[in-house]
Amino acid sequence: MRAKKSSTNEHLLTKKGGFRIMGIGKQEAIKYFFGGNAIIAIIVIFLICLFLVKEAFFFFPDYRKNLSLYRLSGQEFADYPMAQIVAQKRLASLATEARSYEIKYRQGVEGDIPSLNSAIRNMLRNKVNSEITELKRAEEQVEEIDFYPNLEESEKQARHQRVATAQEQLKKAAEEASLTINYNDLSDKTLETSPKYLDDLRQAAVTRLVTGEKSAFIERIEKSLAEKSIEISKDQNLLDLAEANTLLREPQRDFDQFVSKLRKITISTKQQAQQYQSSSARRLALESGAALASSDEDKERLAIEAKRILTIQPDYTKLNQPLYNSLDKHAELQAQLEASTRAALEKIPSADGFESGAAKKRLKEIASIKSGIYDLFAENRAKMEVWDHTKAYPMSQAVTGFFFGTEWITNSSWQDFYGILPLFTGSLGAAIIAVVLAVPFAVGGAIYVNRLASPVEQNIVKPVIEFIQAIPSIVLAFFGVVVLGQFLFDIGQNPALSWIPGFPIEGRLTMLNAGILLAFMATPTIFTLAEDALNNVPKSYKEASLALGATNLQTVLKVILPSCLSGIIAAVLLGFGRIVGETMVVLLVMGGRIKIPTAFTDPAHSMTGILAQEIGEVVQGSLHWGALFMVGLVLFIVSLSLNFTAQTILRRYSDR
């Protein structure tokens, strides 16, 4: 063995130099090969930029063209009154919801019982399905007796007997099965009901199933509910609310008709414009197809078809004339709408007289948007008056429309809008929740493990946290969907928490849910980096502090922590970057509602989520495709700058 080894070494020593190609020796070739691989990182960064920019490059010009058509066809004009009526309808629906929540709340537990009753009955029916079928068959056989007059008596009795047995069995099975039903099995978890009714409900379901009659319990509840609702409806607040509601709904029909007429006109203008665009392209394609056609017959046919296509631009001035003419009618309708809204808003009572949290939340929302609605009316009216379809759509407006647009609407039959704001705020909201939750745990944990824990503890905790880092995000997303969502929702229903803005939580998939999971993902990252930063503090700091008589904890909190603060900030920034770029959790857990969230318990959508959700279904090179790559570019720039800032902080810190 030893001999062989030494011979290898000799062999290595003797063989030097070797081949040369184009003046490059073996050693240099190896060096260049390795160097070439090292450049890949640079190339990839460059290529990522290139591809994102390449696909997104034509987005703004295309978007501008698209929006120009939106203006030219008058759709922009029709959207102003549309926005007015939508805002007003929002008020109306809030008022309606507030009223029904309040009524339901005042009815109390008993209000839930009718729906619970039918849910439990359906479950029971499913559980004893085979017994029910058996009973039905037995009964059918009994009915058949009349058709067979010469049936033997014993057979008749046997058939009756079968019905009796089946009934007996059904009753037994139903009673047994009813005991296995719990509230937790019910799919509609919004029902909060005290357990004391459970036995009554089970009994009611069994009675209904076996005898087909309502049980006394249900009848009593229904009667008391009816009495209660008469009493509730006498409440002045609710009466006011109902009256306001009627006032709000009164002018809606006329206005709706007006708006839908405008929309019809503009959509037909748009169709003509689109037809003009597509027919130009089609004509070109047919002409080139005719040139390439193999037979004379095909050539002639294609040429005729090409000539049949009209390529005359629609006359927009003529087509948009009805819109300009409609201004007077709109003024009249708007005055009506405004007057009745004013009257209604005066009627709407303040939130103090209400008991239900959900109702209060809605009334507060009405109060907050109520002052803005008249401004919106006036503003949109002013816009309509100065609107001019010939005015060119500026590039800057397309750009701001993307970066500050509040609507992301795709595949619409009306008009697509690509505004990144709802996605951006969703991403940012979830990330902020996550960082706020993760930083105390991660930094606290790092301080504890690095400075206070015993070596044994250190050797256990550190690897375990590294281990946690490897949990795939899709697993956490799954956990959020099936476990955490329900858990948070149940907690969120607790009336004791209703003082927190955003509570009670109204869904399982929310920004809070996603934020908690993201915090869990970011914690190991922040922990590891913060621990590194703590480790890098020179020993002399600690020794000096201790020598001055500070205790261990004082040293940690007042000397060491401040001295590595920049390292910790960098750690947090890197963690933040990881959260912002995370996809699966926000895609599955955040609820996917494309709207700017107003509270941290709202559902929302995110930049990463929209990419994952939509890019698979988009035509390559279309406007939507460009918009998605634009979102990707924004995401890339945000994460790069976060990363870059963190690295800069770290470098400055380590230089010092």
Partner 1 sequence: MSSLPDKKDAIATSLNPFKQGKSRLRTIERIQRSVLLIATYSILISALVVFGTIIKNGAPVLWDKGFSFLTEKPQTLTVLDVAATEGLEISADGFERIVGDNKKLPVENSEEFEKSYPHTRFDLQPGTIIGDGYLQLIENNNHDFRVGFLSRSRDAQVGFNLSADSEFRVTSEQLEEIKKVDPEIVAGELTPVSEETNYFRVRVEKGDYEINKATYDALNPTTLIYIMLQSFNDDERNQIRSTKIPNSQVVTLSQAQYAACLAEEGGLPFSKVEPQVSVQDFLQFSMPAGQYELASKVLDILKLANPNASFVSLHNTERGAVELDLKEAVTLSLPTAAFEQVVRDNPDFKISNVSNYEVKKPFVRFDLSKDAQILAPNEVQLELKGENAGSGALNILDEHSHSYSGGGILGPIIGTALLVIICMTVALITGIASAIYLNEYARKGRFLKTVRLAMLNLAGVPSIVFGLFGLGLFVLIAPQITDTPSSSNNVVLRVPLAKIASEPNLRDIENNSIFMAESHHKTSDVVAAASANGKARFYNGWTYLSFQGWGTCMLAGGFTLAIMVLPVIITACEESLQAVPMGFREASLALGASKWQSIRTAVLPYAFPGILTASVLGITRVAGETAPIMFTAAVAERSLLPWEGLQSHGFGAFLEFLQQSVQAMPYHIYTVAGRIPQSQYTEPMQYGSVLVFLMLVMSLAGVSVYLRIRIRNKIKW
Residue 415: strand, helix, or coil? coil
Residues within window 248-287 making contact with partner 1, judged by CB under 8 A: 272, 275, 285
Euclidean distance between CA atoms 427 and 446, whole angstroms: 27
Q: Which of 87, 343, 369, 615 binds partner 1 (CB under 8 A)?
A: 615
The one among 3, 230, 292, 496 contacting partner 1 by CB under 8 A? 292
Binding mask 411-430 toward partner 1 (x if CB under 8 A, else -) reads --------------------
Q: Under the criterion CB under 8 A, does residue 476 sit at the interface with partner 1? A: yes
**Nearer to partner 1 among residue 22 and residue 38 (C-beta):** 38
Closest contact distance (angstroms) between CB of 617 and partner 1 is 10
Q: Do 486 and 189 touch, CB atoms closer than 8 A?
A: yes
Near partner 1 by CB under 8 A: residue from 237, 523, 528, 563: 523
Spatial distance between the Cα atoms of 16 and 21, rounded to a whole number of angstroms: 15
CA 240 to chain CA centroid, nearest Å: 35
Helix (H) or strand (E) holding 652: helix 623-655
Shortest distance, CB of residue 217 to partner 1, whole angstroms? 29
228 vs 282, which CB is nearer to partner 1?
Answer: 282
- For partner 1, give the closer residue by CB, 103 or 437: 437
Q: CA geometry: angle at 620 spanning 614 and 623, to 5°?
A: 75
Nearer to partner 1, 116 or 443 (CB): 443
Nearer to partner 1, 236 or 540 (CB): 540
Instruction: Determine the interface stretch with partner 1 among 69-77, 87-95, 444-452, 594-602 (rule: CB under 8 A).
Output: 444-452
Which residue carries 């056989």 as its tokens?
A: 141
Query: How many CA atoms lie within 13 Å of 151's alpha carbon, on the beta-carbon side?
Result: 16
**Binding to partner 1, residues 12-71 (CB under 8 A):** 12-13, 16, 26-27, 30-31, 33-42, 44-45, 47-48, 51-52, 54-55
- Residue in 381, 278, 403 with CA at minimum distance from that of residue 326: 381
One-letter amino acid identity for 36?
G
Helix/strand/coil for 215: coil
> From the CB of 308, what's the least distance to partner 1, in Å?
6
Strands (E), 562-643: none
Site for partner 1 in 101-160 (CB under 8 A): 130, 133
406 vs 473, beta carbon nearer partner 1: 473
Between 149 and 616, CB nearer to partner 1: 616
Q: Does 538 bind partner 1 (CB under 8 A)?
A: no
Q: How far is the CB of 428 from partner 1 (least distance, A)?
A: 14
How far apart (Å, rounded) are the C-alpha atoms in residues 628 and 630?
5
Helix axes 296-308, 252-292, angle to 10 degrees: 150
Q: What is the 3-state secondary structure (H, E, C) of 424-490?
A: HHHHHHHHHHHHHHHHHHHHHHHHHHHHHCCHHHHHHHHHHHHHHCCCCHHHHHHHHHHHHHHHHHH
**Binding-site member from 226, 367, 382, 471 for partner 1 (CB under 8 A):** 471
Q: Is 587 in the site for partner 1 (CB under 8 A)?
A: yes
Nearer to partner 1, 3 or 42 (CB): 42
| 466 binds partner 1 per the rule CB under 8 A | yes
| 443/218 Cα distance (integer angstroms) | 57
Shortest Å distance, C-beta 554 to partner 1 = 6
Of 100, 400, 486, 551, the one binding partner 1 (CB under 8 A) is 551
Residue 124 near residue 177, CB atoms below 8 Å: yes
* Nearest distance from C-beta of residue 591 to partner 1, angstroms: 12
Task: Mention every residue, 6+ apart, whose C-beta is less than 8 A from residue 555.
Answer: 542, 545, 546
Q: For partner 1, which is the closer residue by CB, 304 or 382?
A: 304
Measured from the CB of residue 433, what is the shortest distance to partner 1 in angstroms?
15
User: Distance between CA atoms of 419 and 426, rounded to whole angstroms?
Assistant: 13
Stretch of 77-85, 306-314, 378-386, 559-567 contacting partner 1, by CB under 8 A: 306-314
Using the rule CB under 8 A, give the single segment among 11-19, 57-65, 86-94, 174-182 that binds partner 1: 11-19
With CB under 8 A as the contact rule, the residue among 109, 191, 267, 309 that binds partner 1 is 309
Q: Which of 467, 490, 501, 536 binds partner 1 (CB under 8 A)?
A: 467
CB 583 to partner 1: min, Å: 4
CB of 490 to partner 1, least distance (A): 15
Query: CA angle 569-604-263, nearest 5°?
Result: 140
Non-local CB neighbours of 249 within 8 Å, separated by 6+ positions? 92
Nearer to partner 1, 444 or 562 (CB): 444
Q: What angle do CA 286, 290, 295 make, to 5 degrees?
A: 140
Helix (H) or strand (E) holding 517: helix 511-535
Q: Which of residues 628-647 bind partner 1 (CB under 8 A)?
A: 629, 632, 635-636, 639-640, 642-644, 647
Nearer CB in complex with partner 1: 11/196: 11
Single out the residue of 114, 372, 394, 440 in contact with partner 1 (rule: CB under 8 A): 440
184-172-210 Cα angle (round to 5): 85
Of 327 and 557, which has the nearer Cβ to partner 1?
557
Among 343, 432, 550, 561, binds partner 1 (CB under 8 A): 550
For residue 320, the SS3 value is: helix
- The answer to whether the CB of 427 falls within 8 A of the CB of 412 is no
Separation between Cα atoms, residue 602 and residue 250, nearest integer Å: 31
**Cross-strand pairs, 21:** 24
Q: Could you tell me which stretch among 117-125, 305-313, 335-343, 492-500 binds partner 1 (CB under 8 A)?
A: 305-313
Q: Which two tokens stand for residue 626?
A: 């460009």
Cβ distance to partner 1 smaller for residue 25 or 353 = 25
Least Cβ distance, residue 184 to partner 1 (angstroms) = 14
Rule CB under 8 A: choose which of 341, 513, 583, 601 binds partner 1. 583
Q: Which parts of 202-221 interact with partner 1 (CB under 8 A)?
A: none
Nearer Cβ to partner 1 (35/114): 35
Number of H helices, E strands in the chain: 28, 4
Tell me the H-state helices in 293-326. 296-308, 316-325
Which residues contact residue 537 at a Cβ distance below 8 angstroms, ignoring those fewer than 6 apart? 560, 563, 564
Cis ω on the peptide bond leading into residue 504 (within 30° of 0)? yes
Range 342-381, binding partner 1 (CB under 8 A): none
Complex with partner 1: residue 25 or 357, whichever CB lies closer: 25
